[in-house]
Structure 1
Amino acid sequence: MIKSQALADFIAEWTKIEAPTLEISHEYWTLYFDGSVMGPGAGAGVFLISSEGGKFQYAVRLHFPASNNVAEYEALISGLRIAMDIGATRLYVYGDSKMVIDQVMKNSNRESPLMDAYCQEIRKLEGRFRGLELHHIPWKQNPDADALAKITAERKPAPNGVFINNLDAPSA
């Protein structure tokens, strides 16, 4: 009986009991977006920073006629989709298009049916995040996304480390 108790004590002392851990990140990722239309075409730039500080750059080539506002919306939509694909669930979003931010945040009217369709597309995507905040910033505070959008709109080769996406049809 003493031996069996000693064995039970030994097992209890040396057996690790691990509680299940939930892999829920409460950390926010940061997304900067910008769109650009230039002579050769239209493009979008997306700059993502993970909650741990990792940086990801995406250039989106728009292969359809687009206004600057459409390019801005495409940049935001592409950024949200990329963030979801990477696994971000909480996101701070920064863009220098006051019109897009205001329309998405419901601070201004969307008189154009096209802009309304883009807002509806963003509404579909925002429900897939546990936290999403959009903020307008001056273009001087958005240099990385701006540079990516311009390079893409000018159809220049992307620098090393930049992921290229091609978009053949509008998202809305």
Structure 2
Amino acid sequence: MPQKAVKGQALADFLAQHPSSYEFGGNDVEISMLETRDNYWMMYFDGSSTSISAGVGIVIQSPTHNPWYFSLKLDFDYSNNQAKYEAFVIGLGVLHDLRATRVLVLGDSELVINQLNGTFHFMSCTLAPYHMVASYLAESFDGVTFKHISRVHNTDADELAQITFGA
């Protein structure tokens, strides 16, 4: 099966698992957390790709400043920008499952952040499905702010993406 078909099926499976951006029915798990209506969750993300491997790093910080760290190795051949979008989508999925309502997304990918802001238009057909899923997920929150940061301020997410190469 061609890789594009496999990636397309993965996106379709994801959308099938999240049928409505405003519905939380089904088998929800209650997580005891502080009220987050007036507070922001923060998400740092990064993705990285080499000729032999790809990985993502995500740092999520609750409004009470409790951090969670995620490092995932990707099974397919990804470009750097695809890996960065994967990190973004996975991170928003985690925040959605945590029932975050307002999110500040911080990343060092000027391309991804500005495409999500609407400042840049995407020209690559390979990034279009990622942009579609990312936009769909972003709409499920009461507020999402995207901010480009320098690489030196995104070292935790970058290191988490890099350690997958040794896995």
TM-score > 0.5, shorter chain as reference: yes
Asked if residue 45 in structure 1 is aligned to residue 57 in structure 2, the reply is: yes
Cα distance in 1 for residues equivalent to 2:147 and 2:36: 25
Asked if residue 64 in structure 1 is aligned to residue 64 in structure 2, the reply is: no
Asked if residue 79 in structure 1 is aligned to residue 91 in structure 2, the reply is: yes
Report how far residue 55 of structure 1 moved. Answer: 0.6
Task: Specify the structure having the higher radius of gyration (Cα).
Answer: 1
Residue aligning to 2:14: none
Cα distance in 1 for residues equivalent to 2:143 and 2:41: 10
SS of the residue 2:126 aligns to = helix
TM-score by length of 1: 0.74
SS of the residue 2:84 aligns to = helix
Asked if residue 95 in structure 1 is aligned to residue 110 in structure 2, the reply is: no
Residue aligning to 1:149: 161
| Contact 2:60–2:67 (CA under 8 A) maintained in structure 1 | yes
Q: CA RMSD in A?
A: 1.3
Report how far residue 155 of structure 1 moved. Answer: 3.3
Residue aligning to 1:119: 131
Residue aligning to 1:11: none
Query: Which of structure 1's runs of 4+ aligned residues deviate more than 3 A?
Result: none
Which structure dedicates a bigger proportion of its chain to strand?
1
Cα distance in 2 for residues equivalent to 1:74 and 1:64: 11
Cα distance in 2 for residues equivalent to 1:119 and 1:96: 17
Report how far residue 40 of structure 1 moved. Answer: 3.6
| Distance change in 2, residues 1:39/1:110 (3 Å) | closer
Residue aligning to 1:130: 142
Cα distance in 2 for residues equivalent to 1:49 and 1:141: 15
Query: Aligned AA for 2:97?
Result: D
Q: Which runs of 5+ in 1 are unaligned?
A: 1-22, 157-172
Matched residue pairs, number? 133
Report how far residue 65 of structure 1 moved. Answer: 0.6
Q: Give the percent of matched residue pairs that are identical in Structure 1 and Structure 2.
A: 37
TM-score by length of 2: 0.76
Residue aligning to 1:31: 43
Post-superposition CA distance 1:67-122 (Å, at most 9, x none): 00000000100110011112211100000000111111111121111212211111
Cα distance in 1 for residues equivalent to 2:95 and 2:151: 22
| Contact 1:40–1:155 (CA under 8 A) maintained in structure 2 | no
Report how far residue 25 of structure 1 moved. Answer: 2.3
